[in-house]
A = this chain, B = another copy of it.
Amino acid sequence: MAFNRGLQERGVKMVLDAQYGKVLNENEGPTRTVSTTEALRSGILAGDFKPGERMLEVNLSERLGVSRTPIREALKLLAGEGLLDHTPNRGYYVREYSTEDIVQAYEIRAALEGLAARRAAQLGMEQAERAIIERALSDGQKLLNSDDFSSMDRSLYGQINSAFHSAIHSASRSRMLRDHLRQSQQIAPSSHRNVVAFEHDDVKRRLADHYRIYEAILCRDGGRAELLMRGHVESVKISLLRTISRQA
């Protein structure tokens, strides 16, 4: 549990501050509620809290070194975002996602990413956004060409992939669309189920998708960009289903 380190000793720090002045810890948010919310959110997404696990206020309050108030506020916010389930008088639980739920999340995301790609094509991308995409494409190519591909870190590919998609989200120029996209991806990677295939061929195919999508966007062909993007994300869904059925 790394997420509680930052807040744990805040009480002590504040006493020190009162004694020696300044030196407020920078990496914390402006308020306890904000930093608590961030700590809990990333903790949930990182899997530090298991799906279905109960979020006890006093427990969290002690672990994070704050009173129950900011904890309660953070829990309410995360419940509003859909990360937690709440039953009155019975507390908060980490939302559980079935395999079916995760597949559906990909379907929703596919539709939304398609929309984003269409808007990016219609509105055009800024120079900075294009640079990010081109960087992601060339880095992806390098990754594919590397001699010991199989030993590569999955997280590297994840970062490259994420950069590509984020740039398009940003280019959609729509806060609402970005919010929906973020929410459709806010699912804890449940142990085995949410793991995307990482064979050389899979990555190669997805990178080719990225090239074609970017091309369509540059050509300002919104319809084609949407179609390609939707198919791209759906293909991840398919490969996920394949992995699952193979496990069974």
* Bound CA span A63–B112, Å: 40
The 9 A-B pairs with the shortest beta carbon distances in the complex, nearest first, are A80-B80, A76-B76, A77-B80, A111-B111, A30-B88, A80-B81, A31-B88, A76-B77, A104-B174
Question: What residues of chain A have their CB less than 8 Å away from a CB belonging to chain B?
Answer: 29-31, 33-34, 72-73, 76-82, 88-89, 101, 104-105, 107-108, 111-112, 114-115, 174-177, 179-180, 183-184
Cβ distance A108 to chain B, nearest Cβ, rounded Å? 6
Residues of B within 8 A of A107 (CB): 115
Chain B residues near A104: list those with CB within 8 A. Answer: 174, 176-177
Q: Can you list 28 A-B contacts with CB-CB less than 8 angstroms, sorted by A residue number? A: A30-B88, A30-B89, A31-B88, A31-B89, A33-B88, A34-B88, A72-B73, A73-B76, A76-B80, A77-B80, A78-B80, A79-B80, A82-B179, A101-B174, A101-B175, A101-B176, A104-B174, A104-B176, A105-B176, A108-B112, A108-B177, A108-B180, A111-B112, A111-B114, A176-B184, A180-B183, A180-B184, A183-B183
How many chain copies does the complex carry? 2
**Smallest CB–CB gap between A173 and chain B, Å?**
9
A144–chain B nearest beta-carbon distance, Å:
32
Q: Look across to chain B and name the residue whose beta carbon is closest to the beta carbon of A118.
A: B107
Complex alpha-carbon distance, A87 and B148, angstroms: 48
- In Å, the complex CA distance between A101 and B82 comes to 22
